[in-house]
Amino acid sequence: MALLEVKNLKVDYPLRGAFWSKQKFLHAVDDVSFTVERGETVGLVGESGCGKSSIAKALVRLENPAAGSITIDNVNIADLHGKALRKARKDFQMVFQDPYGSLNPRLSIQSTLDEVLALHTNLNKTERLQRMKELMQMVGLDSQLLPRYPHQFSGGQRQRIGIARALASEPKLLIADEPVSALDVSVQASIINLLQELQKQSQFGLLFIAHDLAVVEHISDRILVMYLGRIVESAPADELCALPLHPYSAALLSAVPTLEKRVGKRLKLSGDVPTPLAPPCGCAFHERCAFATERCKRERPALREIAPRRFSACFHAQENGLFTCGKE
């Protein structure tokens, strides 16, 4: 059984309105299902506002799902509350996007790590200190820096500390929510390489969230492409980047800078991303899609397997089989 199994997940946010009006909701995540195996890296990619971070927050229960199940190592954490949820948090941790805002400026690095170890382990004070030194070494930092405070570190160093904090409880699942987007390009590669090295050592499952398909392709075994709250394509990373089976995936891929000459035409998108407050009928992507038909305007395609381990929510791909959206 998969380490993480998400089924029909929905995340809604209530909208403020007049007190006499009916409560309305923004559907940030709409009926999303996927899995992450032990030791596997799954990339989740999409434009800003598509619901990626909402999924991440729901997985660690920073947001309560409106519907669906989130099963981590045979435990449905969507149903947990109070002490049971706090106990389960040992198995899943998160690395946040902002390395400047995710660390408490009033706590030293030693206090930050000790807080996690005291909560999730049975180590005594001396053993916790030794574990903190090991964690600092694991992420490439000198253990003598433990007494320092977050403001005394660079952005890349803070993100390494955030990774050390997330790994302190030895989680089975790590969710990295755009962990390199706030960092310089020169630092991004070192953080990605660090995550890969740590995963080889600990064999935790990794959900890596980003909007940069080039970064996701480099680190991921499998990629999920998300658009307006739904997953529109799922495939092994190398296969998706070689042969995208959804026009949105093809557009994302064609926008990635490369030194090599591209085969086929570049697929440009027209118009803006629809608002989740008033999503279009039928396929949410049809207003920007060069392959859209009348059926796309009426019906919403389900995510279906059209080749081994290749899933696409596109009528064109489902009806014509394997095709390259950017080469037609």
Over residues 35-84, the pLDDT tens digits come to 999 999 999 999 888 999 999 999 999 999 999 999 999 999 999 999 99
256 or 223, which is more confident: 223
Rounded to whole angstroms, the Cα distance separating 59 from 175 reads 8
The pTM assigned to this predicted structure is 0.92
pLDDT category of residue 23 using cuts at 50, 70 and 90? confident
* Cα angle for residues 1, 58, 8 (degrees, 5° grid): 55
Rounded to whole angstroms, the Cα distance separating 174 from 73 reads 13
pLDDT category of residue 258 using cuts at 50, 70 and 90? low
First to last CA, the chain: 39
Query: Average of pLDDT values for 291-313?
Result: 93
Rounded to whole angstroms, the Cα distance separating 167 from 161 reads 10
Query: Average of pLDDT values for 71-99?
Result: 93
Q: Tokens 């909701």 belong to which residue? A: 25
Query: What's the pLDDT at 13?
Result: 92
pLDDT at residue 263 greater than cutoff 60: no
Query: What's the pLDDT at 328?
Result: 45
Q: Tokens 């899995």 belong to which residue? A: 35
Neighbours of 59 (CB within 10 A): 24
pLDDT at residue 165 greater than cutoff 90: yes
Rounded to whole angstroms, the Cα distance separating 93 from 108 reads 20
pLDDT category of residue 260 using cuts at 50, 70 and 90? low
Query: What's the pLDDT at 1?
Result: 79
- Residue 105's identity, in one-letter code, is P
Q: What mean pLDDT value characterizes the chain?
A: 90
Q: CA 90, 91, 97, 99 torsion: positive or negative?
A: positive
Query: What's the pLDDT at 212?
Result: 83
21 or 55, which is more confident: 55
pLDDT at residue 17 greater than cutoff 90: no
Query: What's the pLDDT at 265?
Result: 55
- Residue 67's identity, in one-letter code, is A
pLDDT category of residue 253 using cuts at 50, 70 and 90? confident
Query: What's the pLDDT at 22?
Result: 78
pLDDT at residue 24 greater than cutoff 90: no
Query: Average of pLDDT values for 294-311?
Result: 93
With beta carbons less than 8 A apart as the criterion, state whether 266 and 256 touch: no
Query: Average of pLDDT values for 158-183?
Result: 94
- For residue 50, give Cα distances in angstroms to 30, 38, 175, 255, 279: 10, 26, 17, 18, 12
Of 242, 229, 206, nearest to 66 by C-alpha is: 229
Query: What's the pLDDT at 119?
Result: 93
For 130, the 3-state DSSP assignment is helix
Q: Bridge partners of 69?
A: 7
Rounded to whole angstroms, the Cα distance separating 173 from 158 reads 21
Neighbours of 26 (CB within 10 A): 14
Percent of the residues in the chain that have a pLDDT greater than 70, as a whole number? 93
Query: What's the pLDDT at 109?
Result: 97
Rounded to whole angstroms, the Cα distance separating 81 from 178 reads 27
Neighbours of 40 (CB within 10 A): 19
